[in-house]
Structure 1
Amino acid sequence: MTRPFSSVWTREPRQPKNAGLRREQIVAAAIELLDAEGLDQLSMRKLGSRLGAGATSLYWHVANKDELLELTLDEIWALVEVPDPEQASWREAATTFAYSMRDTVLTHPWVATVVGQFPSVGPHAFALMERLRRTFTRAGFTGTDIYLAGGTVMSFVLGQVIPEISARRMTGPDGDWTLDTAVDSADRLAAGYPELLADYRATRYTDMNTGYAVAFDFGLLCVLDGLAARLPAP
């Protein structure tokens, strides 16, 4: 037998007891904890301590940590910007969405792990999806292509950002290596590919942030050009 769909959003939120914690307070504190310490460090006990409350107060609002992560994820979707489709062209709207989503995930890197693990069926997620639907409908896409177009842009952003997050962790203040040590290792490990090494040395950016930004620009233009090629001729 298949398990019935379950989500924190499928039931009415409980009202706080007397002057107890509100769900909004719990979610805000959870996001602060996730930003500061990462996904692995989130626990109901630690969150309760941060709020000066016992775990029982938290479980009044959420059944478990998974439900808490559903709530935090929906708050993140509220930060992603999509212009009003009636006020911008579809390419402008899609570009703003892509850059806004990239900035949001880089600011809250734990989101890259949570997306896809939990259903995005909260109010902010639906509001975002509706704007994307209107954007690609006005562009001229029809049927399932409307949603495939939005999903393609979102998948591109995640595909670019997830490796960037990993690299930032490895090369940050507490990371295991620097760009220079990686280049030195490449000289030794890829000695049999001199042309490849020469191209890498000639084209690599000394500033990793610039390199990631250029790669994102290039890829996004290719994605949008590919989507535009699938539209009916005007």
Structure 2
Amino acid sequence: MAIDARQRRGARKAPLTVQRITDAALDVVASQGYDALSMRSVAAVLDTGPASLYAHVVNKGDLDELIIGRLCAGIALPLPDAAHWREQIIDVCTQLRDQYLAYPGVSRAALAMEVTDLDILRVNEAMLAILVEGGVDPQSAAWAIDALFLYVGAYALEASIVAPAEPDAEDWRVSPADRDALIRRFRALPTDRFPHITRYAEQLTSGVRHERFDFTLRLMIDNLA
């Protein structure tokens, strides 16, 4: 019996949707890094041509906003609690950090973004509500949210550059051997020109996992009170 031509070509392609395009974009970032993300690379994952994407996505900037929105949609947001506002805002930032770290370099997409995506705005709304409930002046809260997003994004971006394969390692910034070498280099500096660097070499190179991240967040947040 003859086989129908359509059967020989395989099953009919699933229709393109914004959800499928976003899934494909995240697949590209997860497997190849953010630098590989383009309309062409996403189209290749979907087995189609780049032109077909433009019926659903305006441009690369639109694609960036979609993937950041998808990551923000995965963040669990608390009901604002004045007694625990610091812990709540730190938890939101930590969740955002972990979402970024799962996709090497993806936080670059969030830099200088004109936000219209509702899932991103949902996180902004929750952070603003937490800070205001905690007694932070609304103007300070608004600027603090911007600063926190920038810091979390920069931290995750550095992680993708320094240790793209294992940003969650015990110490992804520098190996113990490299740290020892760096300490020796600092201590070998002329003490008359660098008295503090030579004296505090261990402190300058300390910190494992996300200790520096936690320290900086608390430094920023505690000054809002």
> TM-score, structure 2 length as denominator?
0.75
Q: Does residue 180 of the first structure (1) align with residue 180 of the second (2)?
A: no
Residue of structure 2 equivalent to 1:148: 143
- The DSSP-based 3-state class of the residue aligned with 2:163 is helix
SS at match of 1:82: coil
TM-score w.r.t. structure 1 length?
A: 0.72
- Name which of structure 1's ranges 68-77 and 153-162 shifts more when overlaid on structure 2: 153-162
1:116 is matched with 111
| Identical-residue share of aligned pairs (%) | 24
How has the CA–CA distance of structure 1 residues 20 and 171 changed in structure 2, closer, same or farther, with 3 Å as cutoff? closer
Q: Distance in 1 between matches of 2:146 and 2:112?
A: 16
Partner of 1:219: 216
Give the Å deviation of 1:193: 4.5
State the Cα deviation string for residues 8-54 of structure 1 (Å, max 9, x = none).
xxxxxxxxxx9621111111111111121012212323322211222
Matched position secondary structure for 1:67: helix
**By how many angstroms is 1:159 displaced?**
4.3
> Is the 2:179–2:205 Cα contact (8 Å) retained in structure 1?
no
Number of the residue aligned with 1:106: 101
Shift in CA distance, 219/202, structure 1 to aligned 2, threshold 3 Å: closer
Post-superposition Cα deviations, 1:126-165, rounded to whole Å, max 9, x if no partner, equal 1111111211121123342231232333334334433333
Matched, 1:134 2:135: no
> In the comparison of the two structures, how many residue pairs are matched?
204
**What is the one-letter code of the residue matched to 1:91?**
R
Aligned equivalents of 1:46 and 1:160: distance in 2?
26
Match of 1:191 among 182, 188, 196: 188
1:35 to 2:36 alignment: no
**Partners of 2:204 and 2:182 in 1: CA distance:** 17
Consecutive unaligned residues of structure 1, counting only runs of 5 or more, are: 1-17, 229-234
Give, in whole Å, the separation in 1 of the partners of 2:137 and 2:182.
Answer: 49
* Structure 1 residue 68 corresponds to structure 2 residue 63: yes
Q: Is the CA contact 1:204–1:211 (under 8 Å) kept in the aligned structure 2?
A: no
SS in structure 2 opposite 1:165?
Answer: helix
**Structure 1 residue 62: deviation in Å?**
1.6
> Which of 36, 40, 56 is the aligned partner of 1:45?
40
Amino acid paired to 2:15: G
Corresponding residue SS for 2:224: helix
- Aligned 8 A contact 2:80 2:130 in 1: yes
